[in-house]
Amino acid sequence: MAKDQSSTDGARADRLPQVARQRCPGSAGRARRLLEIRRKRASLARLRDRGARIRLRGPGQARGGEEGVRPSCRRRPAAAGRLPSGPPGAHREQARRQAATGEGREGVSQGPGVPGGEPAARDRLAAALHALRRAAQARRAGEARPEKQGGAEEVMLLAILLSFAWTPLSHRPVQPAAQVLTDRAFFVGEMVHLIPRDRIAFRPRETASPVLDEAGSRLYVGTSDGYVRCRFHGQPSWSWKAGGSILAAPLLLEQTLYVPAADGKLTALNRITGEVRWEADVHEELTTTPVVAEDKLFISSSEESVTAVDLKTGKLLWKFHRDPPPGFTIRGNAQPQVAHKTVFAGFADGTVAALDPSDGVAKWTRSVSGTGDYLDVDAVAAPENDNLVYAASTRSGIVALDAETGNPAWTSPLPGANRLLVDGPRLYASGRGMLTALTRSKGIVTWKLSLGNDKYATPAGAADGLLLVGIEQGPLLAVEATTGRARGAFDPGSGFSGGPLVIPGGAFIVSNAGVLFGLGLLP
């Protein structure tokens, strides 16, 4: 008897405690419930063997799969602080492709149709659909489950599908249809987040271009959070905080960095240490990079003024002002240009003025925009080796004026043009929806590249036979300077408002998300 009792106890030891109690008198109802529980557990065991288990988890709790999809096979959990980037095996295949091609740096899109930096949304959606198919197969092959359990699983599957409803399959802006990008023109050499993400504005705009010293060792970057940062050989050296946003690039001259800020103050800093040498309060929002001539700095403001400041002391010398026109204007001010011992400036009322550097008296003024709204002259170019001054008028297009008299030489109707670049025998105009090349002598259009009606281009930069031009809420384009053919695009996803600093073989640019990119140009 003792042997039989031991065998019975051994069998009972593997059962749940409730099973041992089911033989007690008066427990028939419990026995029926226990049989139902055992049938449910058997059904669940078959599902675990045949298919994937789908569970809803909170943020950061997904393990062994993607976005709460847990395969039946065991996988080592992802490393701390990382999220799986694709279905099982996808990360290994992506790593092999990147090792072979050198693409996919920092998750940045290199242009349409080019591998590297692709969003993980397609992988997550594929993993979810794969899990759903396997779950459906298991449900059809398994036993019928209770109604409550089936309803709960349907709710979970619906929640997983809805989690992808607002996930874009691609985070890249739509490229203009006119662009045909034949190859890649860039590779990422440096990527630095300058502005902490909790300080980025709702619709950020970084309008200041980086500045590099002659030795190529120190890079100065001003940003909308009011900081000027110096990087020495790619490492932080010093930073200085202004009283307002930095809307235009600083001016580097010998050992001094001249910084304009939106609070109306122009500050001279020691370029090595960042120490303040002097400060001039113009009392107007400073929106352009200062230019220098005859020991004076000339800078424009949002109040339609040009102010002269002593280069050594910061003393205010004179101010030339024009009243803004009635009606609508476009935000933006033309940077003053110095040539032929004259300061040339453009204003929102459609006027170009030639000023005497010594006292600010106008030698001549010329209206180039006619009447109406949007008369702004937002860019002026005055090459020293040319007797013409070029003005970009939002309403009239490009106008060439005689530098001595202000008489018109030629006009090219390009409405929306607000940026100018002079490079060799050509003049490049950018603005709303277009990038255009013209001859400097007669203003004949040699080529035109459409960017899309709602696309605004930044100032262009030129090097190695290429034009680099950024697009607000779009990519940085590389365009052949002689033909206008788009060579490639670099798109971090936040767009560009400031122009690139172009150097031989590369460029520096700050995206609207406050990220500094050092880019190399591919031959």
Calpha distance 131→156 (Å, rounded): 12
Exposure of 377 in the CB half-sphere (CA atoms within 13 A): 29
φ and ψ at residue 229, rounded to 5 degrees: -115, 135
Q: Which amino acid is at 468?
A: L
Q: pLDDT band at residue 268, thresholds of 50, 70 and 90?
A: very high
Structure tokens at 57: 């988890």
- Which of 16-25, 60-69, 195-204, 219-228 holds the top average pLDDT? 219-228
Cα Rg for the chain, rounded, in angstroms?
33
Calpha distance 456→433 (Å, rounded): 6
Using H for helix, E for strand and C for coil, what is the string for 228-250? EEEEECCEEEEEEECCCCCCCCC
pLDDT in tens, 329-354: 565 689 999 999 999 999 988 999 99
Q: pLDDT band at residue 273, thresholds of 50, 70 and 90?
A: very high
CA angle in degrees (0–180, nearest 5) for 484-487-490: 120
76: left (phi over 0), alpha (psi -120 to 50) or beta: beta
Contact call for residues 485 and 479 (beta carbons, < 8 A): yes
Residue 448 reports pLDDT greater than 90: yes
Calpha distance 88→234 (Å, rounded): 37
User: For the residues of 118-144, what is the DSSP string, one character each?
Assistant: --SHHHHHHHHHHHHHHHHHHHHHSPP
pLDDT of residue 455: 86
Alpha-carbon dihedral 319, 322, 324, 325, rounded to 10 degrees: 180
pLDDT in tens, 126-143: 665 566 566 666 666 654
Element (H, E) at 390: strand 388-393
Q: Which amino acid is at 233?
A: H
Q: CB 264: neighbour CB atoms within 10 A?
A: 19
Contact call for residues 224 and 204 (beta carbons, < 8 A): yes
pLDDT in tens, 487-508: 999 999 899 999 999 998 899 9
